[in-house]
Structure 1
Amino acid sequence: MHFLGQLIEEKCSQNLWQPVKASRNGPTFSHLLFADDLVFFAKADYINCSAIRDVLNDFCNLSGQTMSEAKSKVYILPNVDRDTRESLCDILGFASTPKLGKYLGIPIKQPETSPKDYNFILDRVKQKLAGWKENMLSLASQSVFIQASSATIPAYVMKRTQLPRRILEGID
């Protein structure tokens, strides 16, 4: 993965891959690497997509590794017209996706994310509570169990996003 990062940095320094900024004065970033998961960021144009394709081809040829095109997706912002989106996907060799989906079981925040995308948290809490026998525990034990179960399940998600009020009320 370090080698892949170097290939990306070379393309960026040659101005063939234009990284993105999270804010007007913020730093630029071109990629995130998580173990064997990769996320690339670039302006949606032909030069950037060709640079990404070149980096991926070079990496695969030199490392002997392959990519799963079935698992790889391209998310292009909705303000890019449909014809351009299709052309860019053809260059990259990956299918376009209208939503970013989930990572590690958590929906990746998007403007159109709805509260129902977080229903899995309520389902997990309900499953946890349904699986125990209340008659086997004292009242104090039941209280501790309910608090521990209902607090730990949403905690991971709450580290990266604010949960909708309806989900929080459902947990309560």
Structure 2
Amino acid sequence: MDFLGQLIEEKCHENLWQPVKASQNGPTFSHLLFADDLVFFARVDYINYSVIRDVLDDFCSISRQTVSEAKSRVCFSPNVDRDTRESLCDILGFASTPNLGKYPRIPIKQLDSSSQDFNSIFDRVKNKLAGWKANMLSLAGQSMLIQASLATIPAYVIQCTYFPGRILEGIDRVNHNFLWGTSDSVKKIHWVGWQKVTKPKDEGGLGL
């Protein structure tokens, strides 16, 4: 992978591979290397795509590895027309896709703040609750269970992704309902507001 990175940097230094910027004044970047995944970034240009193909061919020739065309995809910005996309995909030998999927369980490319992308996280919280019997635990036990398990499900994603308000409110609601024993069939009184439940003890809350 280090050698592949050197090949890319060499092409960038020769201005044959033009990296992209996330913002007008931000740094340029050409690639990201993960354990077993690679992400390349380049401006939409026939020379760029030919150079990317050459880099991959050189790397495969030297390392005796191959690129899985079935697992490789090209994602274009919305303003690239269809004919250009097809021509560039032909150069690379990869199919085009509007969605890069998730890594890990996080949408890689977010065009907007659609809550649909985060429904899976909300569903994981609800599904985990379905396997627990709240009436078998004390209030303190339920509180500890929420802290140790439910709160950790969105914790990783929320560090690097802006969550839509609807998803955050939904997670708080299912946690609150579980704490007081409310379900679809049983409605119980919530004796303490959720804001006070989650407020630290030194500020007068329950410290959940």
TM-score by length of 1: 0.94
Judge conservation of contact 2:99–2:109 (CA < 8 Å) in 1. Answer: no
Judge conservation of contact 1:46–1:88 (CA < 8 Å) in 2. Answer: yes
2:3 corresponds to: 3
Runs of 4+ in 1 over 6 A off after TM superposition: none
Deviations 1:47-89 (A, max 9, x none): 0000000000100110011111111100011101110111000
Judge conservation of contact 1:20–1:42 (CA < 8 Å) in 2. Answer: yes
1:113 Cα deviation after fit: 5.2
Distance 1:139 1:101 in 2: 39
1:141 corresponds to: 141
Percent identity of the aligned residues? 77
1:130 corresponds to: 130
Which amino acid in structure 1 is aligned with residue 136 of structure 2?
A: M
1:167 corresponds to: 167
1:109 Cα deviation after fit: 3.7
1:8 Cα deviation after fit: 0.5
RMSD of aligned C-alpha atoms? 1.3
Q: Tell me which protein shows more strand as a share of its residues.
A: 1
What is the count of residue pairs matched by the alignment? 172
Distance 2:149 2:36 in 1: 31
Judge conservation of contact 2:16–2:47 (CA < 8 Å) in 1. Answer: yes
Judge conservation of contact 2:113–2:164 (CA < 8 Å) in 1. Answer: no
Higher-Rg member (1/2): 2
Judge conservation of contact 1:73–1:96 (CA < 8 Å) in 2. Answer: yes
Which amino acid in structure 2 is aligned with residue 44 of structure 1?
A: V
Distance 2:111 2:36 in 1: 27
1:39 match: secondary structure: strand
**Which shifted more, 136-145 or 46-55?**
136-145
1:32 match: secondary structure: strand
1:62 match: secondary structure: helix
1:103 Cα deviation after fit: 1.3
Deviations 1:2-38 (A, max 9, x none): 0000110111111110011122222211101011110
1:112 Cα deviation after fit: 4.2
Structure 1 residues not aligned, in runs of 5+? none
2:32 corresponds to: 32
1:53 corresponds to: 53
1:119 corresponds to: 119
Deviations 1:106-141 (A, max 9, x none): 112422452111011111111211112324322210
